Chain A
Amino acid sequence: MIWDWAYTLEILPRLARAAIITVEATLLGFVFAAILGLVLAVVRLAFPKTLVPISVFVEFIRSTPLLIQIFFLYFVFPSFGIVLDAFTAGVLALGLHYGAYCSEVYRAGFEGVHRGQWEAATALNLDTWTTFRDIIVPQAIPPTVPALGNYLVALLKETPLLSAIAVLELMQTAKILGSENFRYTEPITLVGLFFLAMSLVSAMLIRMVEAALKRRYVR
């Protein structure tokens, strides 16, 4: 087996375009996950009655494979009259799946805020919303950044699952290139390298965010 540099250069632009789709799916999925997770965690804390349904939902999502969730959104939802294009279904599934994980991370973050902070907020007559926004969330979130960052990288590395519903991300593009040219060595290897680079960059960005938050909040 010999590495074909000409072929490599020929397929690189198409893979780079596909990498943009991968990055988009990752970022959109993660933003959705981060927001959904925060909403779940806050609602569960602010409204004790929602504790059981939210916990059941989170457990359900975490205990079923992401691939099945992707298929469900893409292939089963249309029978309920909800038709999503492949990219949207994929991003929603990623966000939903990782949102469930993120909500647990936030929960730990909230539990790490000293009870006295809530009591001081009550003594100052702050309402629940202001207490969350100004007092609790700014203290609860910075410690969760490393864990959330891990999920960002994990989510990135799960985006090849979207190839199963034919989203033209890196993996799907590599498979197409391979079958068109009957050469898989270069496309699959390049996809691996793309992911390696993107993971390293993500990890670096997370460390920068961590350091910035530390300067701002941890005193």
Chain B
Amino acid sequence: MTATPMVRFQGVTKRYGPLTVLDSLDLDVAQGEKVAIIGPSGSGKTTVLRMLMTLETIDDGVIYVEGEPLTHEQRNGALVPAGKSHIRKVRGKIGMVFQSFNLFPHMTALQNCIEAPVTVLKMPKAEAMERAAELLAMVGLADKKGHYPSQLSGGQQQRVAIARALAMRPRIMLFDEVTSALDPELVGEVLQVIRKLGSEHDLTMLMVTHQMGFAKEFADRVCFFYQGKICEQGPPQEFFSSPSNERTRQFLNAVLEAG
């Protein structure tokens, strides 16, 4: 990792009142790297993604995207809190898929996928529709273009959500527990799409997940969060076979027992 990291968290802290959710987090993610973030609930793992997506403010530290500060901008040599246009520019490199899909219920699958390209990227509508159709085909929903979210299963909705995020051509994709709201039999089709993305696209991915098997097979690195800090991290083989930290062992045992 000699090049500029795609994402860098530098001393990032997030507090909710007296509660410190993230405690001076340092984390570098290389371009094209797939990082799985695991940990017990309340460990701050989702907050990491939400801050990167600018859905949460940060209380301390700086997040860099391709060497460029996301939450701050250089002005006269000093780092000052970023203005709206700067945040939008950097945010354009990032796409996010949510646990609860968050599709726009009044739009069809296709409309969901062209809204942002047309209004934000100013893409001609015909081109946006063509690309959206390709993306929907890629996630296996070529025949569901005209369906509304309520007419789709959870797994299908989540795949539309992935296509919608990809339509903005992000360099970084964030997956926030994207299979947690799905019935067990629908988890596979969504993970299959993410696998495909990993192999076909040069995307950097950060995913918060409870699917240990998927993390093990798919990720380049696993980060275990505990009480707002990265407690342990490493390549999945080592991480899962011989965790060095007591907390990690406890967590993995608990997850394995449940699963």
- Given A117-B104, A134-B115: A122 in contact with B55 (beta carbons within 8 A): yes
- Given A219-B148, A219-B149: A124 in contact with B164 (beta carbons within 8 A): yes
Please state if A219 and B88 are interface contacts (CB–CB under 8 Å). no
Please state if A126 and B116 are interface contacts (CB–CB under 8 Å). yes
Interface residues contributed by chain A, number (CB under 8 Å):
19
Residue of A nearest to B147 (CB): A219
Please state if B168 and A125 are interface contacts (CB–CB under 8 Å). yes
Q: A176 to B88, alpha carbons, bound, how many Å?
A: 64
Please state if A122 and B53 are interface contacts (CB–CB under 8 Å). yes
Q: A216 to B95, alpha carbons, bound, how many Å?
A: 29
Q: A123 to B88, alpha carbons, bound, how many Å?
A: 10
Please state if B106 and A217 are interface contacts (CB–CB under 8 Å). yes
Please state if B92 and A123 are interface contacts (CB–CB under 8 Å). no
B230 within 8 A of A: no
A-B interface pairs (CB < 8 A), number: 65
Indicate which residue in B116, B149, B150, B151 contacts A124 across the interface (CB closer than 8 Å): B116
> Which residues of chain B have C-beta atoms less than 8 A from A138's C-beta?
106
Instruction: Return B31 CB to nearest CB of chain A, in Å.
Output: 20
* In the complex, per-residue mask of B96-122: 1 if CB is within 8 Å of any chain A CB, else 0: 101010111110000000011001100
> Which residues of chain B have C-beta atoms less than 8 A from A122's C-beta?
53-55, 91
B63 within 8 A of A: no
Residue of A nearest to B92 (CB): A125
Q: A134 to B112, alpha carbons, bound, how many Å?
A: 11
Please state if A120 and B103 are interface contacts (CB–CB under 8 Å). yes
> Which residues of chain A have C-beta atoms less than 8 A from B104's C-beta?
117, 120, 134-135, 139
A185 within 8 A of B: no
> Which residues of chain B have C-beta atoms less than 8 A from A117's C-beta?
102, 104
6 closest A-B pairs (Cβ-Cβ)?
A124-B116, A120-B102, A116-B102, A219-B150, A123-B96, A219-B148
Which residue numbers of A lie inside 8 Å of B, CB to CB?
Answer: 114, 116-117, 119-120, 122-127, 130, 134-135, 138-139, 216-217, 219
Give 29 CB contacts A-B under 8 Å: A116-B98, A116-B102, A117-B102, A117-B104, A119-B98, A120-B104, A122-B54, A122-B55, A122-B91, A123-B53, A123-B94, A123-B95, A124-B116, A124-B120, A124-B164, A125-B88, A125-B168, A126-B116, A127-B88, A127-B119, A127-B120, A130-B119, A130-B120, A134-B115, A134-B119, A139-B106, A217-B106, A219-B149, A219-B151
Known: A124-B120, A139-B106. 10 other contacts (CB 8 A): A120-B102, A123-B55, A123-B98, A125-B116, A125-B168, A126-B115, A134-B104, A217-B105, A219-B106, A219-B149
